[in-house]
Structure 1
């Protein structure tokens, strides 16, 4: 059995790759898992950076998260726009910050 099959991808992430009806994936599940691993790793790695940025700049939680999302939307970003939003929402969740 392939180890990557042990990764449980949350529905919120799977939805990024689902058809508008939500019943069919637009990419193979192996691709969705790879993209999820990348996005989850990014969110986990950015927790300390985000907390430090908020402390040093005296910016609000929302401002820090918006700046990080804007950075992900630059050329050369490792994530697509919808993935960037997911990463920032996951980052907010990890930090227990509000990002509505």
Structure 2
């Protein structure tokens, strides 16, 4: 059974520090680059641990470091044990 899984980088809690003003285009470009790099690290992990055959679909990079996968529950469990990643199932919403 395929499940939708969301993977994000694991981060240590940080103290709030206001960011300096930056050009929006530069912020967006930096976010896209970080997203691509994170996606590459998730795919590398999946390939190195021979889990790609249990993955049906992988999202394209966006403007934040996050990857959505359609995978088996075994892949989700392995990603949850990896200290670099924060992974979980996405919530399904049924509207009436």
TM-score of the two chains, using structure 1 as the length reference: 0.32
More helix by share: 1
Q: Which has the larger radius of gyration?
A: 2
Q: Between Structure 1 and Structure 2, which shows a larger proportion of strand residues?
A: 2
Give the structure, 1 or 2, with the largest relative contact order (CA under 8 Å, sep 6 or more).
2
